[in-house]
Chain A
Amino acid sequence: MEKLFFLMFAAVAIASGLAVVTVRNPVHSALALIVCLIQVAALFVLLRSPFLAAVQIFIYVGAVMVLFLFVVLILDMRKAVLQAFPPVKKRFVVGVILVLSAQMVAFVFLTPMGLGPAQGWEPTVESIGRVLFTKYLFPFEVVSVILLAALVAAIVIAKERQ
């Protein structure tokens, strides 16, 4: 039963992921990305991590994608639809794809990932919070500093344009 659900969500996720890059209209491809992110959230639920699923929907679908759409809507749509993909050399594209897929394959085969949810460790909100603020405190702080820097940079760039 669970396998069936996994296959369903995974299939839709891959299909919508493909749609993101193949569909011509930017708004449609943003919609496909939303579908893809929701499927990933569903996969988190199957992995017994409701917290991650809720956060995935909250942040990516609820906030990041809305801002994406916001920017896309302001663009000149007809021009964007007609334009082909940005003029980049084919060799470069192939190279990037190869490097990324090599990374992905290495990640899948070299990390000790199981097929099901991790045993003996219940990913509740409390346990995630505790681990985040004890074992991974330093990376957590580094990430927040990077985010803060990005925020400041975004404000500076926006201010300069005025």
Chain B
Amino acid sequence: MIEILRVFLFGFFAIFIGLFFMGIGRKIIARIQLRLGPPFYQAFLDVGKLFSRKSITHNFVMDLGMVMSLAGLVATMLFVPIAGHTAIKTSSNLIVIMYLMAIGYLGMAMAVAASGNPNATIGVSRALTMMLGYEVPFFTVMLGLIIINGTSSLELIANSQAGSILNWNMIKFPLGFIAAEIALQAMMGEKPFDAMIAPAEIASGPMVELSGKYLGLAFLTHAVSIFVETAIIVNLFMGGASNIFTFVLKQFEIYLITVIIEAVFPRFKIEQAVKFLWTVPMSIALLQLVLIVF
């Protein structure tokens, strides 16, 4: 019973922090654009409003896909250590995390394919192509870290960086950090890698057919994905944290970089994005790998 409660608590915590980050991110982008912007709790209001709305569904597969995409990410979240706490303890969670993260997108792809809108289909095919793009450099960076630590457990990697700030992988392997940061930008689907959403091109892609509660679910999915992805980077490169507050603060620093890049760069076309991801971050990551191995 306690175990189940614990799992729920982790899920709600991730959603809460994710939405909170989204709200602050919108505020920061607004200030860069010389606007006052919405209040920081706007994302909560949005989700609340969306869940109170009537919504249109096409068929059962669409419902299933939406829930699967949220559930996949929440499941990923359970394996991520948050300031020493993990919902489900395993010895090599990094690999599990990377596998489970794909489920989010696959669920979205299923929901969207069921809706039958060409804009949405193009959008989700772009999202899956983008996944192909960012996973290669990200896995390369991860491989380096796994080799040097001799383990694929996120906790152990985080613990190995304990002590002073100089022990952080961010300082020890700056090249790997840069490559992972670029890959993270694509992972979160922020500009310049937001070709899957692209309002001006494909009318918001996967979101075009979603209304009411489904859009609310997509919001929550995005919130959890923000939490999970920043948490992975914090564990890999910033040494985790001893308490939850420091952990969230570190996550926010990572998210801040993402938001700032999002505000000042336009989007790549999908083929340009994949080409970029396979050349620039990939070569940086490979260089790092070579430096680690030899």
* A and B held together in a complex: no
Listed in ascending order, the chain A residues whose CB lies under 8 Å from chain B are none
Listed in ascending order, the chain B residues whose CB lies under 8 Å from chain A are none
